[in-house]
Every structure is written in structure tokens, then in C-alpha cells.
Structure 1
Amino acid sequence: MLDYDVSLETDPYTVTTEYGSTLAVNASIDYDNVDFPNVIYYNKGTKILLKNIGIFLPVVMIGLIGNFWVIYVLKSNRYIRTPTNLIVGNMAVADSLSLLMHPCFIFVYDYFQNYQLGSIGCKGEGPLECSILMASVISMSAITYDRLISILLPNETRINQTKAKIVIFCTWLIGIVLSVPLAIFRTYKERQWKNFDETYCTENVVVINVYWYVIITVLVWLPLSIQIICYSAIFIKLNRYEKMLVKSFSNHQLGYKKSAAKMMFIVILTFMVCRIPYTAFIIYRHSLLKSKKIASSASVTNLVNGLYHTLWFTSKYLLIVNAALNPLIYSATNISFRNAFKKTKLWQWLIPKTKENRIKRVIKEKAQISPTTEAAKCNKKIFYIFKRKQNIKSVGGQEPSTKEVEVVYNTKL
């Protein structure tokens, strides 16, 4: 989505060499009579290629399996297609596209010295990447918000099937609209040096340098703020619920709040680790442009090594890791998804009936050994996304309590 191979073209023309020093040349330079200022390597060789494949391939394969699993479960089970799960499915589609396309673009930028995708790729690659990332992160924010209103607000305010389809449409529409500047302000160029035919994709840094802050706000800071606010509100609600249950269940210890807090922490921490480095990269890039005094420059080209490449590569890689982890966080931990998968033909093929019956028998025997209390039943249901009032019976021979306690049911956070 963002040019990696950059040196800095200004008027007068300035080129960043391999080691970061600058070469000032008159704007009317005759490139045919001047050697290319960077080291010419064409590509980085087989060793680097194999190393990158080893880094990306496991993440991509795990992510594709996880996201295709989510899509398959939703396609195979009509009853699992709740409004929230439809949005989860939309995020899985976006993450699958991200895992398929983004590594290819990273390889093109990192492996070759020249830009290989031509004018069409220069205009289309950035908007394509950006719109996919935005569709995923907006879906994630919608899921987080739906979890909040399912616990704090009445059922009537929840997202229904129609609203879910509107949300899905809007995730892609917003992503495409916000990505349009990348197509407008990027240009494919060719330049003939004395000893090298250079091709590169450049962007207007006057406009795009400001635009990138809009992008990281949508991709990082806005969804992160939504997650922190929503999950904090959910935790406060669960804390109040626990206090009400403790009064009814004497000294019985409830573990659902600790489990919920752990899941919320994992969700937020994963997002921060995978997204904030991209913010650091954009900020560093901006400072690099300012330090070269090219705030009014019309383009960015060629090669910058060192910290720039490290931040670029790491931030891009972590975005792919995030796409691979999303199905694990939002679907694999959801018991309704797992139960729905057990009813699919794929499960029946993987786990024959005889083996499945044996597993059920073992689970049943364990259940008979471990008696289940009323409190434990409530604990199991704490993550369902609808509300109702339930009469809580007392434990230990005490008189039944007619006090109504609000029990929150649903999917894992």
C-alpha cells in the first residue's frame, strides 16, 4: 500500500544513496549521461526470497485455513448466520483477501529494485490493499460495538439481519472511498540513466503525506479507541453482575469475570501489537520527508535502507499476522461456531461416527464425576449476546431467592 523503494526527488533533484547520504543535482539533469546513484542489484537473490517465503508462508497458510473455516461454517449452517456472525464472516472474507494479496505486493517491493507492476499496478495496488484493510477493521469495530449494546442496551437496539447487511456494504464502500486518493495521487514513472533503466511508483507527498494520517486513524486509532471503550464498559457491567450473584451464592467464587477480562486483554493487546507499528512507520516516514526538506516535493522514489526498511517490513508483516489471528480470536473461541462445525460434512469426514461417539461418552463420564451447580450453569452462559431475567436459586439448602438477576448470554468475547 505504501512505497518501500524510496529516495527523495525534489527541485533541485535530490537522491538518497544506499547509505543515506544525499546527492543534489540540477533539475535539468540529463539522466542519460549520469550513472544511477544507488547500488544496482535488480533483485535480492534466492536466499532472501526463500527467507521471506519461510517468514510469510506459515502465517498465510494458518490464516487462510482459519478464515476459510469461518466462511465454511457460515455457509454450511443456516442457524449460525446471526447478524453478528455475518459481520464476522465479512471480516473473514476481507482477511482472506488480505492474506492472499498483501504478501505478493510486499514481495514485489522488497525483492526487486525496480517497480514491477506497471502503471495499472501503481494506480490499483494501493487502493486495493487499503480498502481490504479498512473493510476488515470496520467489521471488527462493528462486532465490538454489537457486543457492547447486546449487554448494556435492550434487545431492540441490536443489529438485525438487515442492519448487518447494511453494515457489510458500508465496510466496503467506506474502504473504497477512503482509498481513492491513492489512485489519484500515485504515478508510474520510468527514467533512463546512463547505466540503469529505472521504473518506480511515486506519490504526491504534499497531499498523501497528510492523507496517511487519516488512514492510520481509521486503521488503528479509531478501532482501538472503540475496543477500549466498549470492552471497559462490558467489564464494568460484568463486575456489577458478579456482585449481585455473590449475594445470592454466598461464598461461591465466580470465574467468568476473570475469563472475560483475559479475553478482552488478549483482543486489545493483539490489535495494539499488530497495528501500532504501522503508525510508527507512517510517523517515521513523515519525519524522514521533513528532514530531507521535501515537504513540497512532488514525488518519492528509489531506495531507503536501514530503519525505514525495518519498520516498513515489520509493520506490513504484523498486519498480515493480525489477519491470520482474527478467526482464532473472534470465531474459534466461540462455542456456537465450534458446535456448528461439528454438524458439517467436513467434521463428519474428519471425525467418524464411532470416534465421535467415543468422545461424547468420555465427556459424559467426566460430567457425571463433576457435579454442576446452578452457579456454574450461569457461568457457562455468561457470554451469550442476549439478555433475559432469571430467578437464581440458592445453594447449600438455603431458601430459594426470588430476586431477579440480569444474566448476560452469548458468544465469547
Structure 2
Amino acid sequence: MEVNNTIFDPTFETIMTTTKYSLDPSEDKTQENHLDLVILISKATLMGFIVLCALFGNLLVIVSVMRHRKLRVITNYFVVSLALADMLVAIFAMTFNASVEISGRWLFGYFMCDVWNSLDVFFSTVSILHLCCISVDRYYAIVQPLDYPLIMTNMRLGTMLSVVWCSPTVMSFLPIFAGWYTTDSHLNWRKSNPNLCSFRVNKVYAVISSSVSFWVPGMIMIAMYYKIYREADRQERMLYRSKVAAALLNKHLQINGISAGLAGLPPPEPLPEEPPITSSSKMKRERKAARTLGIIMSAFLACWLPFFLWYLITALCDSCESGQIVTAVVFWVGYLNSALNPLIYAYFNREFRAAFRKTLESCCSIFGPATDLRQRKQDLVPSNASSEIHVQRAY
């Protein structure tokens, strides 16, 4: 035993010394603090970026539609209302969630927890109902274009927007403030933990609220856009066939005219120029609008589908628990949709893109000194050129 101690003691001492310096508690704690700080800064930066994009992007949509008469069509009034809802999501839902993610606790008390949960449910439902209305509007504009002005009147527009903004209160404020959305044990837990704000729902409320807020409107939108796609494809084929038939008829008439010896006749008087056919251009515009709004709907479903799947699974499965990271990701992927819509408008819609550019240029012109200097330089060039012209004329 003595020999063994003599042989292995130095090695044991070396191992303990190495362990002491490599796993120093203070150094390990410092590294953890640095890592936590980096994660916190990254989260705050990403959340702040999403909030700012949602605020200013949707504000740009509203201002552009109000400033440019060309964008003041019925569909874009739904778009403006949707942009307002997305701005309110950024103000009332994202900011509260960001404060929880950054501070690690709820800072605003028991009552405001109910307010936040109600606003969160309310605005997400308002957004998807807007997209449902837009899909119905596009359906009538493309499938029944002649009846569209009679169907989509200003009165019907106001009625649809009123229903969209008022009906979600039945699924948000009423059951949440009445306590119908959750279990008695969760209500008691909340009273004993005022610094935490979690939204744990019972099974009945989970099924009904997700169906009303997401699944049923989502299925309606998918059905509408499928019919729109089929009709747009049919109109495209009909337009192509009519162009081919007109070209063949023109060729046939030319051949018959030459064979009948009409070349020696005096040429007929030129017919007045026909106005451009607006039906085909209107169909193209409607198809582009439908494509843009279809992309918006797809982005909405892609952003909110993970949340509602998580929402149903955690509510219906008692043994299914999700970590804090998963909960934060599904919430913020859903919130991301409020910042994506203006980017989709700017990228896929030429009229919105031009309106955005003009609106931003007019906003930048407010900051005057730099633009004034450039304008003065530009004003000097024509004056010099004009003086040279006068000199040349004099000679």
C-alpha cells in the first residue's frame, strides 16, 4: 500500500491541480455571466428589430395608401386595416412579451396580465380575419368581375370591417376576464405568483379559440385561393386562345384579300385608333394582386401554424410540457408575421413599391440641409448652360 501511495500520489496531485485551475468556480461563473449577457443582448436586439420593422413598415403602408389615390381601392382598405392591427400587435403584444423575455418576470401586476393575454388573442384573431376578408374580396374580383362592384359596396366593406374588429372580443376579453379560459388551479397559482404571467388554457377553450381564430378562417382562405388560382388559370388560357384565334383570323383575311385581287384597289381609309382593351390589363392586375395576397396568406400560415400546433398540443396533452425557449420561439415567429407584410407589399407589388419610394422620398425631404445643398448645385448647372447658349447665339 505504501508503494502504491508513493507511485500514484504525484499523479493524483497533478490531476487535482489541473482540475482546480480549469474548473475554478469564479471563472466558470464569470463565463456564464458573459454568456448570459450575450444571449440577453442578442434577444433584445432581435426583438427590438422585429418591433421596429412592424411599427414603421405598417405605418408606411397606411401613409402610402392615404397619400396616393391610385391605391385607394376596396382591397387596400382591408390592407390598411390589417396594417393598423399589426401596428397594435407590435405596441401592445410584442413589447410586453419582450419585457418578460428580457427581465425574466412579469412587471405589471395581475390585472395587466389579463389585459396582455386578451390583446394578444384579440389582435392575432383580427389579423387572420382580415386576411380571410381579403381572400373573399379577391375571389369575387376575379371569379365574378362583372358583379364585383355590386357585391363589394362601401356599406358591405364597413360591415365586414366592423365584424372583423368587434367579433374577436368574444374569444379574448370576455372569457379571459371572466376566468373561463383556464382551470381553477391555474387561477389560484396566478394569485400566489403575481410576478409570473403564463397563459394556460383548458381543453374546451383551446379547441374553440384555435378553431375560431385560426383553423376555420385558414381553411376558408385556402379554399378561396384555390378557386382563385383555378379561375385565374382558366382566364389565362382563354386570353391566350383568343389571341391565337385573332392572329389566325387576321392571317386568313390577308390571304383571301390577296387571292381576290384586292391589291389593286385603293387602300381603305385608316380607321380611328381603338382605345386599349382594359379587360386584359385589369385581369392581369387582379391576378398580380391575388398573387401578392396569396403570398401574404402563406406567410401568415407559415408564421402562425407552429404557434397553434404548440397551443393545441400543450393544452390537450397533460403530460406534454415545452421549455421556455420553445415557447418564446413559437410566439416570436408568429409576431414576425406583423413585420413581413409590408416587405411582401414592397417586393411583389409594383404600385406599392412606387408608393413606398415616393413616401420615403417625401419624408427624407423634410430633413432639409443636405437636400438643399444638392438642389442648389443642380440649380447652378442649368444657369451656366443657359449662359453658354446665349453666348453662342450672340456670336
**For 1:191-270, what aligned pairs fall within 5 Å after superposition?**
191=192, 199-201=195-197, 205=201, 208-250=202-244, 263=292, 266-270=295-299
223-232 vs 73-82, which moves further: 73-82
- What letter matches 1:172 in structure 2? W
Q: How much has 1:69 moved relative to structure 2?
A: 0.7
Identity of aligned residues (%): 24
Q: How much has 1:167 moved relative to structure 2?
A: 1.9
**For 1:172-183, what aligned pairs fall within 5 Å after superposition?**
172-179=165-172, 180-183=174-177
Match of 1:122 in 2: 113
- Describe the shift of the 1:45–1:329 C-alpha distance in structure 2 as closer, same or farther (beyond 3 A): same
Q: How much has 1:79 moved relative to structure 2?
A: 5.5
- What letter matches 1:248 in structure 2? S
Match of 1:155 in 2: 148
> Which secondary structure does the structure 2 equivalent of 1:291 belong to?
coil
Q: How much has 1:201 moved relative to structure 2?
A: 4.1
* Structure 2 gap segments, 5+ residues each: 1-34, 248-279, 366-370, 376-395
Q: Deviations over 1:171-227 (max 9, x none)?
A: 121122221212221758454xxxxx874346675xx33212222223322232122
167-176 vs 141-150, which moves further: 167-176
Match of 1:146 in 2: 137
- What letter matches 1:291 in structure 2? S
**For 1:283-362, what aligned pairs fall within 5 Å after superposition?**
283-288=312-317, 290-291=318-319, 307-330=322-345, 333-341=348-356, 346-348=360-362, 350=364
Q: Deviations over 1:84-126 (max 9, x none)?
A: 2111111000001112232222234334454322122122111
Q: How much has 1:230 moved relative to structure 2?
A: 1.1
Question: 8 Å contact 2:206–2:312 — kept in the other structure?
Answer: no
**Which of 89, 101, 105 is the aligned partner of 1:110?**
101
- Describe the shift of the 1:169–1:332 C-alpha distance in structure 2 as closer, same or farther (beyond 3 A): farther
- Describe the shift of the 1:202–1:321 C-alpha distance in structure 2 as closer, same or farther (beyond 3 A): closer
Question: 8 Å contact 2:126–2:165 — kept in the other structure?
Answer: yes
Match of 1:170 in 2: 163
Q: Deviations over 1:228-276 (max 9, x none)?
A: 1111111111221122222233399x9x699789657634432232011
Distance 2:308 2:133 in 1: 22
Distance 1:49 1:106 in 2: 14
- Describe the shift of the 1:69–1:244 C-alpha distance in structure 2 as closer, same or farther (beyond 3 A): same
Distance 1:277 1:159 in 2: 34
- Describe the shift of the 1:349–1:190 C-alpha distance in structure 2 as closer, same or farther (beyond 3 A): closer
- What letter matches 1:98 in structure 2? V
Question: 8 Å contact 1:235–1:260 — kept in the other structure?
Answer: no
* Structure 1 gap segments, 5+ residues each: 1-43, 192-196, 293-303, 356-413
175-184 vs 98-107, which moves further: 98-107
Distance 1:204 1:163 in 2: 37
1:279 matched to 2:279? The reply is no
Distance 1:182 1:335 in 2: 43
TM-score by structure 2 length? 0.63
Distance 1:247 1:201 in 2: 62
Q: Deviations over 1:271-311 (max 9, x none)?
A: 232011012211231244x238xxxxxxxxxxx7xx43233
Q: How many residues align?
A: 290
- What letter matches 1:309 in structure 2? Q
> Which secondary structure does the structure 2 equivalent of 1:115 belong to?
coil
Distance 1:226 1:243 in 2: 26
Distance 1:259 1:112 in 2: 45
Match of 2:24 in 1: none
Match of 2:123 in 1: 132
Q: How much has 1:340 moved relative to structure 2?
A: 4.4
- Describe the shift of the 1:277–1:248 C-alpha distance in structure 2 as closer, same or farther (beyond 3 A): same
**Which of 90, 94, 101 is the aligned partner of 1:99?**
90
Q: How much has 1:161 moved relative to structure 2?
A: 2.2
Distance 2:99 2:302 in 1: 25
Which of the two has greater strand per residue? Answer: 1
Distance 2:195 2:357 in 1: 52
**For 1:35-46, what aligned pairs fall within 5 Å after superposition?**
46=37
RMSD of equivalent CA atoms: 3.6
256-265 vs 170-179, which moves further: 256-265
- Describe the shift of the 1:171–1:261 C-alpha distance in structure 2 as closer, same or farther (beyond 3 A): closer
Question: 8 Å contact 1:231–1:264 — kept in the other structure?
Answer: no
Question: 8 Å contact 1:285–1:308 — kept in the other structure?
Answer: no
Distance 2:236 2:99 in 1: 53
Match of 1:90 in 2: 81
Structure number, greater radius of gyration: 2
> Which secondary structure does the structure 1 equivalent of 2:196 belong to?
strand
